[in-house]
Structure 1
Amino acid sequence: MDAFASSLREEESLDVAQSLQDEIEAIDNDGRFEAQKSGGIRKAMRPSRPARILASTQGSNKELYTIALPGKVDLSYNSPRRKSGARLRRRRSRATLSSENPILLPEPGSLHSILARYLEHHTAQYAVRPAFQYTEWELDLLRFKGYSPRSVEKWAFCLLEPSSAKAAEVFKSSHEVPPLFLLLLFLRRKHIQSYALPVVMSYIDHRKEIEPIDWAALKLLVIRLLRHARKLWPEAIPWIASLFTTEAARLHDFEGRGKPMSPRMLSDVTYFCNKFLSLLSLPASRRPVVSTMHQEKAQFQVLKLMASRSPAIVVTRLGFRSVTRVQLAHAKTAQEKEWAELKGPSWPPWKENRTAMDEDKGYEFGASRASKILHRMYEAGYVGNTWEDMVELYAGWDTDFSPTIQTRTSLPGFSTQYSDWQYLRSLLWAARVRTTRTRREAWAAFLAHEMTGEKAHQEIYRAMFEKLYYPPMARTPERASPLDSTEEFERPTADLLPGDVKEVLPDPISPLHYVFLSEPVPTYKQLYHRMHKTGVQPSSRLLAFLLETCPDFDMLLDILDTTKEGLHEGIRHLVARKHDDDAVVKAIPDYLFAAFIRFLCRFGQYERTPRRKPNLRPYKEHDRRFKLDRQYLLEYAHALLLHYKPTYRPAWTAYMVKMQDKGSELAGASTRYRILFDLIEEMEKIDLDVDDEIFRLACTATLYAVQSANQGSVTFADADIILSTSSIRLRMLFHRLVGTNADMENNSTQDDANVIPSRIPGPAELHAYVRTLGILRDYEGLYSFSTWLVKHHVEVTVRAEAKHSGSRLLFRTLVALRVAVDQGLNAGSEQDAGGVAEIAQLIKAQIDGVEGWGGWPAQEYVDMYIKGQLKSSLPGVERQ
């Protein structure tokens, strides 16, 4: 209490000094007297306490965090709904006024102020750093809150440590629970490792049992957790939604205490619940379509909370749109598949009855889940706009109620709150191009847009470029067309219907089913020249798509040369090898930088053994070799990664994929192995984890390197390094990938909704891991893997079923597991055979214990696997 009294006295004395200075400044201002600012106004003019903590940090550590730009309202601590009035003007003037004269706007003593002063002292530049001295009232406040000076040191380390995994260790303390504001600051990091997320989630579980989380902190907490989960751990999205619904229900039950919530509180809850639904609908960074199953589960939890309140929390237009967006990315239901099979070969694809039972199947039967949600929105009183028209196209219906091809999409790079009518019109026509089956149908939609006289837009061109780039897919005869009794209209296999894949269908066999075209379908190059004539400059997503897909190197150089005015300045620097200003290149959007790396890797070829750490060449040498030397393109891509160290994983993945492609054998298996793990080490230095694809590439590179070592194709020293270190490297990567620490943090007494989820790789990654451990003869590693696999067999099966042919690939992984242990039994010495046999029996017993997997694979599948004949005919696994 003495600490609080002393801090209050200090604040009062500063307030008096402030009042006197205000009066002096008012008199000096042309002799006019201005009213003294009240304490509330002065408080509003102060920067937020977390913002002050980050502002007190000097040096490069500040770059670890997301900080609002000067003069911009920090929405972390200000409501975006209050857009006018003196209150918002005061918020906007916080940063400006406090930076001009921070002494005039003092802050009462708090844990925030202690930490801010500590950080300012320890990050400032001193010739000889003096010892930090706590004031008496600061020590009293720390003791009153249950902390000590040692606690402040840990908090400062958490904020200053570049490695998020090491920084997160402060939240694992069992003796002292750090304050919640420290976690909120930690989550403002631009990037964190996947290891840190389960640690944070466990801390939240522990803290909410000790002290409830208030409403304002809860909103910040789930928003920041969700941002990191979308980037590196989509499996955690339902857990975050469960945290929100549980705490929100408890808080509002306590707030109401049996009475209805106040209008102001109800308005705030309604706004945020719908906003949270919108945030849950944003696509994940990797495999966004597969991750929608986690987003759907999370949204259903929030909707259940909203329906259970009294009065029920209203779903607004934003909420309806957000739920619809997630449903668009889901695979077709059985009814939606049946309706898709009824669509005829002509365009529009009107329904064609196969039996008399199909006669009564109309619009109600053919409406997809996304369409039905929009109907509920209309019933709630909301009027459909251009956004809803666009979504209806992807859902299977055009604006004139003619059918389209229901197309699975996550609407990447698109917000549910767009209000730009012209941009929405371009997205509407782009949707018409995409929701087709063949290139003729897509080109007809493109020409229909040109006939309207509307301005050409790059979104429409991007949709048409996609149709021209993706190849026609193979189809199997399915049924005869009623318009062509002697020929069959073909479609994809039963589980791949039009709209489920990006590939297009070939044109129908019968010309009677052709859509009329006033112009023939152009080639990729012809479409680009058409776009250039209309004055459309490729930028952003279209430029990235052209960089990734343009089939001709000279044509792409021409694109980069003729559209320089529309290019981002950083791209011009990359092409011309201007690296004197890194900030210009780092300002390039992440996806565009990754597209440039893919462009270099697509046209680059290995012609000799690459260097492990290439340097950026001088300008004159670069200009000559960039156009003539294909190996230089790969060296340049490698050098760019090492120089700029992007925090966007796909940029690193693009180069790693090239190293494992066909034609990269000239680089040498051991060289590719060393380069790949060198890149992984560089990623670790910038606090970047491996994802599923990078892990699979690491397994593949190790597999080839071990094969070369066993064949004697590498030096003895290289072979010794590969065989002695590869196993432990891969096991460490796997444990970090799946979040083994999450299993250790879990509490078995918790219900399923509150259990911290594990990160589940895809079946392709699991198969590559088993193969590599098998060739390394790491039987303990195989047993550890099978233990993890059986423990998470439900999640693994669900993850496999979310991917086409995933169940069969998972069964192939089980066959590879048996092959690995069987070869160990046959190849090992008599002394080792006993241990291998015991491990083999343990693994067999584990696999046999999982219902739905069919037990230990039979010998016939093992023989087929060894001969390379185990393809699409193998059985799958099922959930129980």
Structure 2
Amino acid sequence: MQHGALIPLGRQLRSVRLSIRSTSAFGRATTRYQNHSVPSNASSRPRCLQYGVRYDANDAAAWSETIPVWPEEAQELREEPVDEGHVEPKSSSSSGAQQARAPTRHDHLTEALKRTPYTHALPARGSAAKRDLSHTNIRRKLIPRTSPTSTIQCPSDSQPSPDPPRRFSLIWLLAKYIRHVNRDPSQTPHPFSQPEEEYITSMGYSLEDISVWAGIVTAGPSSQAATRLLHRVTSSDHLSPPFNLLLYFLRRPYLSASALRQLIIAAQHIVEQRISDDQAPRLPENAVMILFVRLVRHAREVWPSVLGDIAALLTRALQATKINHKTPPLHQRSRLVYIYNAAMHLLSIPTGAQPFKDAAMQEAAIVRVLRSMFEYQPPLLIDRQGYRAVVRVQIAQSKTSSEQEWAELKALSWPPWKQERTAMDADITAENHGRSRASHTLQRMREAGYTPDTWAKVAQLYSGWDIDGTPTVQTRAIMGSSVAQYRTEHPIWAARIATTRTAQEAWAAYLAYEDTGLGPDAQVMFAIVRKLSEEDKRSRPPDPSLTTKRDTSRRARLLPGDRREVAPLPPSVHLYTYTRTPVPSVDNFFQQLIDRGVDVDPYTLVLAIENAVSLQQGVWYLRAGSRGEDNQRALLLEDPMPQLSAVPPPLFSAFIGLLCRFPNVNLSKVIANQSEISSLSSVQPKLLQGHELNPLHPLVHAVELLGRFRPTSPVPWTNILNAMSNTVTLTSMRFFFRNHQCRPAGEDPAGMFTRAKVSMVALSFVNHIVSVMRRNHVDINEIQLLHICQAVENMAVACWRLTKYKVKSALEQNPHLGSFKLDTTRDAYQAIEHASDTSKYIKDLLTELIGSVDQHVALATVTASSEDFALPQLLHCPSPVLLHAHIRALGWLGDYDGLLDLTRWMVAHQHKLGEQRKRDRNAEDLMSLSIQALRVFLERRWLPAQSSGDVPMSAEPASDAGRQDGGDALARLETPAPGEIVEEVERLVNSVDDWPSWPDEEDMANYCRRERFRELQKMYMA
């Protein structure tokens, strides 16, 4: 041959070419392998020549559709991964012809759990239309599907082996034990036969191990089960559980951050044991990849800061496989290329809670993967999937300093070309400043030989340049990971709409899209509805309840593309963008779609409901959208037994948010159908503080929906906690109970009794919501804890005002009108007396969020042996917003020891807090407010000088009269912190150079100008 003997790569390319039967079959393969395409012909030719393979166009086409797989490994690659399933051979014959034998996989453990009450332990259900790498062999897609008569045959291929004998598996025996225990645990000690017992013993385990594994799989709280598993893995008295048990546990739909931490450490222990023990069996590559996939899936939801350590674990775990990492042969290099590029893709998928803030962590994790790829000689190649991962995290991040300089020079007209304002602006060029990091990565991708596809064109639009060379607005965006949504030109037009500054520019882009005649598309509809909804928000007058909050936040200046809000029109008319029709509102546009018979997709419907200006409008959107009747029956509880899949999760969260934004509207005024009202009224009411809740109250209805659908997403839970902490929402408590009022029948000066009552009811309702979340195994996140602290603050302030108010004489003069007032006053006194319990409650929630210190100390000894593998000390680093809210809640409750402990913790973790402040906007200002709040609440600086500290804390228990009058409770609130605590907090604050200095008198005076301080000051000055 011209280039020497044909190597296995050449033989495989030839066999793949021969296995292509028709054009239609090849077309289907194109769809299957589109995610893993390789460079174009320009770069394929030298690569083929390098490996001694003759190049032609057909071979290049075959190369672009699959990654080479060798005949001697075909049988291994067709097998299922070593996982929790029990594989049995299945064969069939027709007309005497022997058919291909395919393994039938039975998930015995899941089938056993379905027959038990441990439904929480069932694995997550993936979409049937989506290939989930955590459930399928990562290399199965690399094997061409062949019919029984067209199997790939090569001279070196061995004949098919006979059926393997049926054999036991530990997971199958574990499933058998779980079925036995659930059916009748008292019948026999165990359900195993003598051969099964011998098999368990031969594997190094005992019957007691099977029982412990069953307890791990069926345990309720994920952290409790993970603790048991970690103890079993690290115990020197027991053999480590099977690797498949860890893989199955990771299939749970939700894991807490503390559970994920322990599982990562358990995985690291297993990997280190396999590496250090030469006699131990090697880990299969697909099992390592499955471990990585499932760890990353949970980390994206609950602990994004650990993504980099999971990437390091993947690199380390690959050393426990059969791959020769020093000089890997060609077929192993192809596997490594696929694994590492797939890892980058998985690391780049947006996180659940804060996808834009977490993009920097994802980029750092991808850098660790790239560094591992570069250590091979020659370095491993980055394929299209890997380039996309890098671009995806770069587009989600904020602008660099050079990109900001370029954005500031853009003209207000469209397209936004550079407009020089001074002679120095000539140095700011498009090449050095106008090309973003994502744009440079796309350029490297083209230089590597990858032709720009629709995905790359959309990314180019978000990076600041249209495909025709005209500029756009560089916009932070979340690029989709599904290739199916980028097969047409619709995403390009959606990106053109999204990369505009004003609603006028966006509407002009949408009209240009309509002129193309492409037809309605979900992505385009979503993009224009988002712009129109933001324009509606901008056009409405500001909400008075949010004015103070916005004024005190001191937001940093944001450039176009850094925020979701649209900009106002340019100051001059000649800078306007021409549109043949005026920009409509969301209502008008939605009505136009309905009149044209366009089906509104669920995501656009969700966006419309989230931005509805009234509860009536949101319900109208719900009914007018696709599947309106089905969604309506499920969300309005017309169906007594709604299915969990009856409503898409985003739509469910949007409807809960709608109910929480308009709690003052009785549902009977929104729903005109009498049968629907009767259906809602017939709901069995729940009790709170001994009274029946009103099922027609939006918040009560929202909690009823949460209890029935039991969502694992934190969004709906956050919405209702936000509603209960909003002072505007508290006015809706007038009809919160069915037959009980939350306001007095007589005079209520300044609404004092009503505010105290509803704030205490709201806090009780918050505690009820948290208990429901715990029953559904949903953990508290930072935003939810922020709202809980705000609800505690509302209660403490209202009870303080009521305690200060002199009510005893008024009640004696009007005893027939004082029942409500007397009960409310007594409840307020009890709330203040139990302030220490409330303070402990929110401190425990913060400890749960950031992680237990004792747990960290115990786990530090486990990971001490690995220098390159060090998990973050904190499960979550609180933001300055949460710290400020927590300080205020403790301060109003008078927990000075809690403030001192919090300050010590902040000093101990000052570096982590500093890293968190770099990711948050206005973090330095919020940190300054937190320091000011420390001194204000410790010294009670909002109280008049003659009142602060004059009433000492009584060492003796207060009398009954004193308790009724509230003097003892009031003294607790008014007394400032001891001097030694104030001095210690001041010393701790001044010991950190990066923090603001101890606030002076002017800072405290400015801080005390807030409305709540002024209300109390008026009461003390009267």
User: Could you tell me the TM-score, scaled by structure 1's length?
Assistant: 0.82
- Larger RCO (CA within 8 A; separation ≥ 6): 1
Shift in alpha-carbon separation, 1:507–1:532, aligned structure 2, 3 A: same
Contact preservation (8 Å) 2:412, 2:575: yes
- The 5-angstrom pairing of residues 300-699 of structure 1 reads 300-359=367-426, 361-365=428-432, 366-411=434-479, 414-418=480-484, 420-422=486-488, 425-471=489-535, 495-563=557-625, 566-567=626-627, 570-575=630-635, 577-583=637-643, 585-605=644-664, 619-622=676-679, 632-666=697-731, 667=733, 668-699=758-789
Q: For the structure 1 residues 804 and 525, does the alpha-carbon distance in structure 2 shift closer, same or farther, using more than 3 Å as the test?
A: same
Note the C-alpha offset of 1:783. 2.9
| TM-aligned CA deviation for residue 530 of structure 1 | 2.3
Measure how far apart 1:723 and its partner are: 2.0
| Identity between Structure 1 and Structure 2 (%) | 28
Is the contact between residue 45 and residue 105 of structure 1 (CA under 8 Å) also seen in structure 2?
A: no
1:707-729, Cα deviation, whole Å (9 max, x unpaired):
23333473535653552421121
Distance across 1 between alignment mates of 2:760 and 2:1011: 28
1:557 and 1:474, CA in 2 relative to 1: closer, same or farther beyond 3 A?
closer
Q: SS at the partner of 1:47? A: strand
Show the 5 A alignment for 1:101-112: 107-112=166-171
* Alpha-carbon distance change, 718 to 621 in structure 1, aligned in 2, over 3 angstroms: farther
- Give the 3 Å change call, closer, same or farther, for CA 106–866 of structure 1 in structure 2: farther
1:45 aligns to what SS in structure 2? Answer: strand
Q: CA deviation at 1:315?
A: 0.8
Find the aligned partners of 1:524 and 1:46 in 2 and give their Cα distance: 52
Residue 237 (structure 2) pairs with residue 181 (structure 1): no
Q: Work out the CA distance in 2 between the residues paired with 1:53 and 1:264.
A: 34
- In 1, Cα distance between equivalents of 2:989 and 2:258: 28
Name the residue aligned to 1:97. Answer: none
For 2:532 and 2:590, locate their aligned partners in 1 and report how far apart those are by CA, in whole Å: 11
Deviation track 1:128-183 (CA, whole Å, cap 9, x = no partner) reads 64331444555555455554322221210111122212211212325244332221
Query: Residues 494 and 240 (structure 1 numbering): CA distance in 2 closer, same or farther, change over 3 Å?
Result: same
For residue 405 of structure 1, give the secondary structure of its aligned residue in structure 2.
Answer: coil
Question: Per-residue CA shift, 1:647-667, capped at 9, x if unaligned?
Answer: 221112222222222432232
Q: Describe the shift of the 1:246–1:841 C-alpha distance in structure 2 as closer, same or farther (beyond 3 A).
A: farther
Separation in structure 1 between the aligned mates of residue 200 and residue 378 of structure 2, nearest angstrom = 43
Segments of structure 1 that go 5 or more residues without pairing to the other structure are 1-17, 90-103, 476-491, 609-616, 872-880
Structure 2 SS opposite 1:639: helix
Shift of 1:257: 6.1
Q: Aligned to 2:697, what secondary structure does the other structure show?
A: helix
Q: How many residues align?
A: 790
- Per-residue deviation, 1:35: 5.2
Q: 1:689 and 1:569 mapped to 2: Cα distance?
A: 33
For residue 845 of structure 1, what is the amino acid of its counterpart?
R
Find the counterpart in structure 2 of residue 865 from structure 1.
Answer: 1007
SS of the counterpart of 2:215? helix
Give the counterpart of 1:738 among 850, 854, 857.
Answer: 850
Structure 1 residues 772 and 182: alpha-carbon distance in aligned structure 2, compared to 1, 3 A threshold? same
Which residue in 2 is equivalent to 1:82? 142
Match of 1:277? 344
Residue among 827, 837, 856 paired with 1:725: 837
CA–CA distance in structure 2, aligned partners of residues 631 and 325 of structure 1: 45
Q: CA distance change for structure 1 residues 676 and 618 in 2, over 3 Å: closer, same or farther?
A: farther
SS at 1:130 equivalent: coil
| Letter of the 2:912 counterpart | E
- Distance in structure 2 (CA, Å) of the matches to 1:282 and 1:821: 45
- Picking from 183, 188, 196, the partner of 1:130 is 188
Which amino acid counterpart does residue 461 of structure 1 have in structure 2?
M
Q: Verify the 8 A CA contact 2:501 2:560 in the aligned structure 1.
A: yes
SS where residue 782 of structure 1 aligns?
A: helix
SS at match of 2:356: coil
* Aligned match of 1:155: 213
Q: Is 2:914 the counterpart of 1:797? A: yes
Distance 1:529 1:308, change over 3 A: same
| 3-state SS, counterpart of residue 255 of structure 1 | coil
Label 1:855 to 1:80 Cα distance change in 2 as closer, same or farther (>3 A): farther
Classify the secondary structure of the residue corresponding to 1:851. coil
Judge conservation of contact 2:415–2:471 (CA < 8 Å) in 1. yes
- Aligned to 1:654, the other structure's residue is in SS state helix
* Structure 2 Cα separation of the partners of residues 224 and 705 of structure 1: 42
Letter in 2 for 1:122: V
Further displaced range: 859-868 or 798-807: 859-868
Q: What are the residue-to-residue correspondences of 1:212-231 with 2, within 5 Å?
A: 212=275, 214=283, 215-231=285-301
1:782 aligns with 2:840: no
The aligned amino acid for 1:707 is: V
Letter in 2 for 1:703: E
**In 2, distance between residues paired with 1:336 and 1:400?**
21
Deviates more, 1:753-762 or 1:763-772: 753-762
Cα shift at 1:127: 9.8
1:204: how far off? 2.8
Over 6 Å off, 4+ runs: 68-74, 472-475, 623-626, 830-835
1:743 partner amino acid: H
State the shift of 1:679 in Å. 0.7
> Which residue identity is paired with 2:871?
V
**Structure 2: 5+ residue runs without aligned partners?**
1-87, 150-162, 276-281, 540-553, 668-673, 684-693, 734-757, 804-820, 942-947, 956-971, 1014-1022
Q: Which amino acid aligns with 2:168?
A: G
The 8 Å contact of residues 239 and 757 in structure 1, kept in 2 or not, is answered as: no
Give the SS at the match of 2:484.
Answer: coil
- The structure 2 residue matched to 1:704, chosen from 794, 805, 811, is 794
Q: CA deviation at 1:837?
A: 3.8
Instruction: Assess, with a 3 A threshold, how the Cα gap between structure 1 residues 297 and 708 changes in structure 2: closer, same or farther.
Output: same
Instruction: Tell me whether 330-339 or 861-870 shows the greater mean CA deviation.
Output: 861-870
Matched position secondary structure for 1:867: coil
Q: Cα 1:336–1:88, aligned 2, differ >3 Å: closer, same or farther?
A: farther
Distance 1:865 1:87, change over 3 A: farther
The CA deviation at 1:644 is 2.2
CA distance in 1, matches of 2:718, 2:340: 36
Distance (whole Å) between structure 2 residues aligned to residue 257 and residue 524 of structure 1: 57
Q: Which residue of structure 1 lines up, in the alignment, with residue 260 of structure 2?
A: 197
Larger Rg: 2
Cα deviations by residue, 1:380-400 (Å, 9 ceiling, x for unpaired) = 000101211111111111111
Q: Report how far residue 295 of structure 1 moved.
A: 0.7
Distance in 1, Cα, partners of 2:404 & 2:446: 25
Whole-Å separation in 2 of the counterparts to 1:473 and 1:545: 13
CA apart distance, 1:193: 1.9
Contact 1:669 1:701 in 2 (8 A): yes
Q: How many Å apart are 1:592 and its aligned residue?
A: 1.1
Alpha-carbon distance between aligned partners in 2 of 1:474 and 1:440, rounded to the nearest angstrom: 13
Q: Where does residue 819 of structure 1 map in the other structure?
A: 936
Report the counterpart of residue 92 of structure 1 in structure 2.
none
Q: Is the 2:311–2:369 contact (alpha carbons within 8 Å) kept by the matching residues of 1?
A: yes
Tell me by how many angstroms 1:373 deviates. Answer: 0.5
